[in-house]
Amino acid sequence: MNSELKGFRHKLLRVGDVKIHAVVGGDGPPLVLLHGWPQTWWEWRRIMPVLAEHYTVVALDLRGAGHSDCPQSGYDKASLAEDVHGAMVVLGFSRYAVCGHDIGAMVALALAFTHRESVTRVAVLDAPMPGWSQWEANFADPMVWHFAFHMKRDLPERLIYGREFDYVSTFFADRTFNHGALPVEAVEIYARSMAQPGNTRGGLEWYRAFPVDHANALDWKRSPLTIPVLALGGDHRWGPKIVAMLEEFAGDVSGGSIRDCGHWMAEERPAETADALLKFFAQ
Amino acid sequence: MDAELYPYRSLRAGDIRFAYYRMGSGGPPIILLHGWPQTSHAWRRVAGLLSSAYDVVVPDLPGFGYTSKPDAGFDKKTIARRLREFAHGLGLSRVALAGHDLGGHVAYAYAAQWPEEVNNLIFIESSLPSFGQEEAMDVSKGGSWHFGFNMAGDISEELVRGREKLFVDHFMRREKVGLFDANSVSDADIEFYARALQRPGALRSSFSYYGTLPIDRSDNSVWGQTPLPMPVLAIGADWGYGAASEQTVRRVAKDVQGAVIERCGHYPAEERPDELARLIADFLAKTPSATHPAPQR
């Protein structure tokens, strides 16, 4: 899980009362990358070197994942966004661009709303957003059965314990178009990360905070974002819906689908994903 | 009655070998259908109470307990067909049916397809797909997480395997509709259900009752256009799903009585056996089978 990427340095940042693990490299304006569930910063490994040619890339582990702390509380997306902003401030950045995937995309959007003065552009990759008009109806989609399971307190930790690989590998496979992109070694990295004491709970807490996130986002969207937003999804997952979804939150939304891609965009289609991100952030 | 100590019998019906127990003699027949994740064991107390006046037949549903675990056919239309073959195999062509939880879904599928063969229907702590169960499944409105989990496919089996006791204990004692009195079911009873789920194919079968809910939904929506003709008693529990049983039944039947058992969770057959048996006996006494016309064939 503590896998190394050439040219990047690992840092442990003290942000308020938690420690946040960040992997930093490259030159240029700052760009922070926020991973999703059941992942860590490692999901960005294939596009970080390309992005680092133009940006100072900060790929961090969210509270509850990887090498970051897993405290008892603070897992709503506004609190996770506060961790990210704090980490960027510790690194010396007051204005920065943000890219998030899955749960990290929810954090990215929350960060754009709660730190409008700091976030220059935001890219949202393949996830439904709390506050979306279809958010509640979406719970009926069999593909997100895990929302309700993860929101159940205590029991999922017991059922997943010792079976992290089985659970994570099934979860990936069910949402992957390009199966070659997630070799067993990569899945093992995520599964071992989840198996660390506290991390299974930490990741599940992101889901348990959904009711709070939904209420917050409904409030935020009454003053839509004015910064440019890139909404991008796999054409086999959220791609077809994601632009209209983000237009509920922002006035300047571009994006769409990446072809032949499931949910794991930076791993399934790294070249296309990096290309779309570079074009968007260069504007 | 202690767990596992009463005699089971076996009956072949079609491609299923049914395990069941039968109590009483001479009275009109009533078949008691258990729910999920249980077996005929759930009726051990009520069966004895009803046996003085009724011919009480309590099978393990296909896929549960000692009954066969078929490869397919877990939609309730098919389960009901197999159960009817079982009833006919016992020589019971007209019966009263009582179903708890998913057993209620099966009882409805039986009564809706062969109304002339079901004299009375007792529907306990359940909501029918297409007629109210969707609300219980909607987690964004307080519904339960377990529907999605149980329908998720192989992964749910993978996570529960070897943890069946934790799983059953959680549902019966910890879930928000669980037992009012956690000790109304013994640890030995929980073990009994857990061991039943540990048998090869048991988890697969058990979750398949959920995986087939979309099929049931479309079957029910067709059957529901013709209200059930027989008298129906809908029983809820105040710590379980409350009035939901009666609400769902009123959408598919004309002659409905409702009752709610107090200080009782989702498992009234085990938690309030005396009260449940009395409600059933009173209902059957007031609505004798003679009031329901015999089939004209």
Task: Please say if the pLDDT value at position A61 is more than 60.
Answer: yes
Angle at CA of residue B5, ends B2 and B6, nearest 5°: 105
- d(CA B76, CA B83) in angstroms, rounded, equals 10
Give first-to-last CA distance, chain A, whole Å.
Answer: 34
B151: contact with A, CB 8 A cutoff = yes
Query: Worst-scoring range by mean pLDDT, A1-10, B72-81, B111-120?
Result: A1-10
Report the helix count and the strand count for chain A, using DSSP H and E. Answer: 12, 8
**How high is the pLDDT of residue B5?**
60
B138: contact with A, CB 8 A cutoff = yes
Q: Residue A148 and residue B166: Cβ atoms within 8 Å?
A: no
DSSP strand pairing (A30-34 vs A9-15): unpaired
Closest residue of chain B to A147, computed from CA coordinates? B145
Query: Span A239-250, mean pLDDT?
Result: 98
What is the per-residue pLDDT across A23-52, written as a single tens digit (0 to 9) for each?
999 999 999 999 999 999 999 999 999 999
Query: Span B7-25, mean pLDDT?
Result: 93
**How high is the pLDDT of residue B296?**
41
**How high is the pLDDT of residue A47?**
98
| Domains of chain A (ranges, CATH numbers) | 9-282 (3.40.50.1820)
Q: Return the structure tokens found at B245.
A: 């049983």
Q: Residue B145 and residue A158: Cβ atoms within 8 Å?
A: no
**How high is the pLDDT of residue B295?**
44
Task: Please say if the pLDDT value at position B292 is more than 60.
Answer: no
Task: Please say if the pLDDT value at position B291 is more than 50.
Answer: no
What is residue A152's three-state secondary structure?
coil
Query: Span B273-280, mean pLDDT?
Result: 98
User: pTM for the whole thing?
Assistant: 0.92
Task: Please say if the pLDDT value at position B290 is more than 50.
Answer: no
State residue B203 phi and psi, 5-degree precision: -65, -40
What is the per-residue pLDDT across B167-179, written as a single tens digit (0 to 9) for each?
999 999 989 999 9
Q: Residue B159 and residue A163: Cβ atoms within 8 Å?
A: yes
Q: Closest by alpha carbon to B101, among B267, B279, B274?
A: B267
Q: Residue B155 and residue A148: Cβ atoms within 8 Å?
A: no
**How high is the pLDDT of residue A219?**
98
Who among A136, A145, A155 is closest to B148 (CB)? Answer: A145
Question: Choosing among A149, A151, A164, A167, which should be mutated to test the B contact, i.e. which has the most B CBs within 10 A?
Answer: A149
Instruction: Report B:167-226 residues touching A (Cβ under 8 A).
Output: 167, 170, 174
Query: Span B191-203, mean pLDDT?
Result: 97
Question: Which chain B residues are Cβ-neighbours of A139 within 8 angstroms?
Answer: 138-140
| CA dihedral (A139, A140, A143, A145) positive or negative | positive
Q: Residue B159 and residue A160: Cβ atoms within 8 Å?
A: yes
Who among A139, A158, A171 is closest to B139 (CB)? Answer: A139
Who among B137, B149, B174 is closest to A149 (CB)? Answer: B149
Over chain B, what is the mean pLDDT? 94
Q: Residue B138 and residue A148: Cβ atoms within 8 Å?
A: no
State residue A234 phi and psi, 5-degree precision: -70, 145
Identity of the amino acid at B159: L
- d(CA B123, CA A165) in angstroms, rounded, equals 42
What is the per-residue pLDDT across B82-91, written as a single tens digit (0 to 9) for each?
999 999 999 9
* Contact in structure between B155 and B21 (CB atoms under 8 Å): no
- d(CA B263, CA B194) in angstroms, rounded, equals 25
Query: Span B137-151, mean pLDDT?
Result: 90
> How far does the CA of residue A243 sit from the closest CA of chain B (Å)?
24
CATH topology of domain B9-290: Rossmann fold (3.40.50)
What is the per-residue pLDDT across A178-219, written as a single tens digit (0 to 9) for each?
999 999 999 999 999 999 999 999 999 999 999 999 999 999
Which H or E run contains B9?
strand B9-13
Q: Residue A148 and residue B145: Cβ atoms within 8 Å?
A: yes
Query: Span A67-92, mean pLDDT?
Result: 98
What is the per-residue pLDDT across B217-247, written as a single tens digit (0 to 9) for each?
999 999 999 999 999 999 999 999 999 999 9
Closest residue of chain B to A170, computed from CA coordinates? B155
Q: Where are the domains of chain B?
A: 9-290
With cut-offs at 50, 70 and 90, classify the pLDDT of residue B287.
confident
B141: contact with A, CB 8 A cutoff = yes
With cut-offs at 50, 70 and 90, classify the pLDDT of residue B1.
very low
